[in-house]
């Protein structure tokens, strides 16, 4: 099937000598990856729901309906149409809490990725560009962070900073910095001695200009992929911290925290535990699918 | 060869010192004076506080304290737990076999299932089986394992009653810990009922902890096999008329195994990190659960020592993998 596509491609595209715009080419390759497209669709859906949580959610996530405690989902016996996915142990609507949880998870992902990407990018650029002692110092420090299992490091940082959503985000950000630093350093080192960089240097470009304007745009592809996958790590680790009681605190409708606070109802009311987990899994899976698709589409070695 | 090993070992030393320094800082970054944390709300007269600070060396410059700490660490002195008053090292060593047993079985599970799945997926590239394996492994990779554990408990323990919910052994049995590995200890004591019980207790935690490594191993095996299957020597082997099974099993697999073995070695960190969640869910008496309890009890010396010991374990295993890799593959050894 793939061979067919390749054969018909030159005939289908208009006979112009100009190569297509890189974005067009990227979209062409990306579109063929069904999994990545599905991931993108799910992420867009979650993002829209998160953005308009106030409008979409049928109830206030913190209102306790005293007459509706542990109501099962609507398709089970005793379910009510007012609470599509059921209610928790103090009568809060599960669906509304999940929707507001989506807002938190997307925010966690965005903040963690932005923070860790900014710091990791800066460290990696400095290490790769200047080399020598600077490089050794930065990278040894990254090695130290990498020698600790990521969840353990996050747990320790959260324990030092104290439990809470903001501290959990900080903890997870610190943990993933080395990944961005290493990636950036490798990309910068591969680019730094190429002719176009040397030409700019000879033309009088300073180190900041060389790093940010000349080299950086050519290192973006792997970073985009890593940042996408970083969303899934961030959401997963923040949820794990929430589950261990070191992340967001109840009554915050964070998915991991929701799971932990309803553990004792596992047998009586499985839905209070099932839904937050499904939400985490689906979101993380979507980001992983998207990341894989981006990697395939952006990596020239894999292009057909 | 010796030179190669020594270089690798020497590269780890600064990292080890760095981790030691980080864990040393840990106890000082935590809000509150260590002694005030220790005495709690009972309070302490100010002159006694000064005395204690002097006794514990807390009034000395930070770098001297750090040197003392390093000296202690090198002699196996990781401090004393605030709660149990036992040495942190001995507490860790008592609990570590439980974590090790769980982690080893999880890795075994991941390899036994993931390796063949990856091989078959690569050989039948593009088939339904291939898509299935890739889909399942991506799902496993995305799995919040704390939730996965709860689902398995709900289904197998609560629903079907096949497996126990928590712990390592039924209360009916008592086996004197010799090695600390329940499966070995029960067999050595000749208690087959206890062995069976220990095995039952292990199944679910093993699956939960092995899920992410399983996904990683399957994906890695598949891509390594695909790469190797495209090589010239495979075509040659096929052209010679060798049977397909022989080509895959002997020529391709041997070469594909190198990156897979490395990945398996690198999963140790994932396993020990995942053990924190798995042990918490299944009340497994290992170091992961102990660390979380230490945090909740503000037992910072225990946390400090535990983190250092786990980091050291991860570094040691990674070093071992690195060295083995060089021993097995001369190209790596002579690359510098």
Confidence grade of residue B36 (pLDDT, cut at 50, 70, 90)? low
pLDDT at res. A304 = 40
The whole-number pLDDT of residue B333 equals: 67
How far separated are the first and last CA of chain B, in Å rounded? Answer: 13
Cβ–Cβ < 8 Å for A230, A120: no
Determine the angle formed by the axes of helices B2-29 and A150-161, rounding to 10 degrees: 20
| Pairs of residues, one from chain A and one from chain B, whose beta carbons lie less than 8 Å apart | 112
Q: What is residue B336's predicted lDDT score, i.e. its pLDDT?
A: 47
Chain A nearest C-alpha distance from B170 (Å): 21
B328 is a domain residue: yes
CA distances in angstroms from A177 to A115, A173, B271, B297, B307, listed in the order given: 9, 6, 21, 29, 19
Q: With an 8 Å Cβ cutoff, are A148 and B150 in contact?
A: no
Residue of B140, B314, B301 whose CA lies nearest to A153: B314
Query: According to the model, what pLDDT value does residue B332 have?
Result: 64
Confidence of residue B116 (pLDDT cuts 50, 70, 90): very high
Q: Report the pLDDT value the prediction gives residue B110, as an integer from 0 to 100.
A: 94
Is residue B58 situated within a structural domain? no
* Position with higher pLDDT, B296 vs B133: B133
Of the ranges B73-77, B219-223, B297-301, the best mean pLDDT one: B219-223
Would you state the pLDDT for residue B101?
92
Question: Does the residue B132 lie in any domain?
Answer: yes
Per the structure block, which two tokens stand in for B78?
Answer: 């990781």
Residue B233 within a domain: yes
Bigger pLDDT: B155 vs B233:
B155
* Percent of chain B clearing pLDDT 70 (strictly above): 93
Q: Which domain holds residue B107?
A: 88-335
- The pLDDT score that the predictor gives to residue B43 is 66
pLDDT digits (tens, 9 = 90+) for A37-66: 999 999 999 999 999 988 888 888 888 888
Mean pLDDT computed over B315-335: 76
Those residues whose C-beta lies under 8 Å from the C-beta of residue B313, and which sit 6 or more positions away, are: B268, B272
B291, B296, B315 member nearest A147 (Cβ): B315
Distance CA A12, CA A193 (A): 39
pLDDT of the residue at A96:
92
The angle subtended at Cα A302 by Cα A43 and Cα A216, nearest 5°, is 70
Q: Is residue B35 part of a domain?
A: no
Q: What's the ipTM? A: 0.84
Contact by Cβ (8 Å): A31, A291:
no
What's B176's domain CATH number? 1.10.3720.10
Number of domains in chain B: 1
Of A179-188, B8-17, B34-43, B224-233, give the lowest mean pLDDT range.
Answer: B34-43
Q: Closest to A240 (Cβ–Cβ): which among B14, B146, B307? A: B146
Region B315-333: mean pLDDT is 77
Residue B31 included in any domain: no
Query: Distance (Å, rounded) from C-alpha B88 to C-alpha B82?
Result: 9
Q: Which residues 238-267 of A have a C-beta within 8 angstroms of B?
A: 239-240, 243-246, 256, 259, 263, 266-267
Search chain A and give the residue with CA nearest B20.
A144
Q: Which residues pair with A87 in a beta bridge?
A: A93
Within chain A, which residues score under 70 in pLDDT?
A: 1-16, 300-304
The chain B residue lying nearest A230, using CA atoms, is B142
Q: What is the pLDDT of residue A170?
A: 92
B26 to chain A nearest CA, in Å?
A: 7
Say how far apart CA A257 and CA A251 lie, in whole Å: 8
Residues 6+ apart with CB under 8 A from A197: A191, A210, A214, A215
pLDDT of residue A2: 46
Give B230's Cβ-side CA count (13 Å radius).
7
> Considering CB atoms only, which of A140, A240, A274 is closest to B144?
A240
Residue of A36, A147, A287 to mutate for B, most B C-beta atoms under 10 A: A147
Of the candidates A266, A273, A285, which has its C-beta nearest B142's C-beta?
A: A285
pLDDT value of residue A15: 57
Backbone angles phi, psi at A87, to 5 degrees: -125, 165
Interface test with A, best of B273, B306, B311 (most A CBs within 10 A): B273
* Cβ atoms of A299 and A221 closer than 8 Å: yes
Average pLDDT, chain B: 84
Q: What is the pLDDT of residue B231?
A: 81
A178 vs A6, B228, B291, CA distance in Å? Answer: 39, 30, 24
Question: B292 vs A18, which has greater pLDDT?
Answer: B292
């Amino acid at each position: 099937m793939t061979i067919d596509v390749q054969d018909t491609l030159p005939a289908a595209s208009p006979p112009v000598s100009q190569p297509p715009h890189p974005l067009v080419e990227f979209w062409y390759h990306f579109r063929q990856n069904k999994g990545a497209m599905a991931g993108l669709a799910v992420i867009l859906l979650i993002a829209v729901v998160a953005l308009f949580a106030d409008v979409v959610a049928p109830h206030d996530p913190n209102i306790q309906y005293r007459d509706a405690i542990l109501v099962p989902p609507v398709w089970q016996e005793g379910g009510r149409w007012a609470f599509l996915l059921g209610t928790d142990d103090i009568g809060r609507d599960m669906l509304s809490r999940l929707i507001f949880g989506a807002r938190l998870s997307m925010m966690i992902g965005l903040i963690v990725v932005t923070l860790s990407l900014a710091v990791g990018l800066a460290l990696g650029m400095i290490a790769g560009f200047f080399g020598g002692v600077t490089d050794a110092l930065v990278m040894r420090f990254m090695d130290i962070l990498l020698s600790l299992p990521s969840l353990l490091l996050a747990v320790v940082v959260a324990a030092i900073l104290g439990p809470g959503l903001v501290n959990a985000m900080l903890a997870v950000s610190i943990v993933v910095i080395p990944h961005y630093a290493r990636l950036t350093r490798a990309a910068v080192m591969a680019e730094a001695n190429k002719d176009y960089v040397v030409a700019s240097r000879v033309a009088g470009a300073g180190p900041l200009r060389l790093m940010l304007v000349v080299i950086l745009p050519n290192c973006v592809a792997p970073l985009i992929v890593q940042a996408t996958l970083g969303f899934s790590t961030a959401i997963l680790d923040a949820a794990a911290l929430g589950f261990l009681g070191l992340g967001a605190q109840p009554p915050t409708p964070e998915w991991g925290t929701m799971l932990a606070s309803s553990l004792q109802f596992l047998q009586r009311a499985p839905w209070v535990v099932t839904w937050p987990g499904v939400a985490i899994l689906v979101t993380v899976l979507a980001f992983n699918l998207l990341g894989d698709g981006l990697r395939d589409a952006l990596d020239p070695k894999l292009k057909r | 060869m010796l030179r190669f090993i020594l270089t690798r070992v020497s590269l780890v030393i600064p990292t080890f010192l760095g981790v030691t320094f980080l864990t040393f800082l840990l106890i000082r970054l935590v809000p509150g004076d260590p002694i005030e944390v220790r005495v709690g709300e009972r309070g302490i007269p100010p002159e006694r506080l000064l005395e204690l600070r002097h006794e514990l060396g807390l009034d000395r410059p930070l770098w001297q304290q750090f040197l003392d700490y390093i000296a202690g660490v090198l002699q196996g002195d990781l401090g004393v737990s605030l709660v149990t008053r036992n040495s942190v090292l001995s507490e860790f060593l008592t609990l570590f076999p439980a974590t090790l047993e769980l982690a080893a079985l999880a890795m075994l599970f991941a390899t036994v299932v993931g390796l063949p799945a990856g091989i078959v997926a690569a050989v039948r590239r593009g088939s339904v089986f291939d898509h299935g394996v890739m889909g399942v492994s991506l799902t496993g990779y995305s799995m919040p394992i704390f939730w996965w554990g709860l689902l398995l408990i709900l289904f197998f323990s609560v629903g079907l009653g096949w497996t126990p919910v928590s712990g390592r052994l039924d209360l009916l049995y008592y086996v004197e810990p010799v090695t600390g590995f329940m499966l070995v200890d029960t067999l050595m004591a000749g208690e087959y009922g206890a062995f069976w019980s220990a095995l039952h207790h292990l199944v679910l935690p093993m699956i939960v902890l092995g899920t992410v490594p399983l996904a990683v191993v399957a994906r890695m095996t598949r891509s390594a096999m695909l790469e190797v299957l495209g090589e010239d020597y495979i075509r040659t082997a096929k052209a010679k008329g060798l049977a397909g099974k022989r080509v895959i099993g002997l020529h391709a697999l041997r070469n594909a195994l190198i990156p897979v073995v490395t990945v398996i070695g690198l999963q140790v960190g994932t396993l020990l990190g995942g053990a924190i969640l798995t042990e918490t869910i299944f009340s497994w008496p290992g170091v992961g659960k102990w660390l979380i309890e230490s945090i909740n009890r503000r037992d910072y010396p225990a946390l400090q020592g535990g983190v250092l010991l786990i980091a050291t374990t991860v570094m040691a295993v990674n070093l071992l993998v690195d060295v083995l890799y060089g021993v097995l593959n001369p190209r790596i050894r002579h690359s510098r």
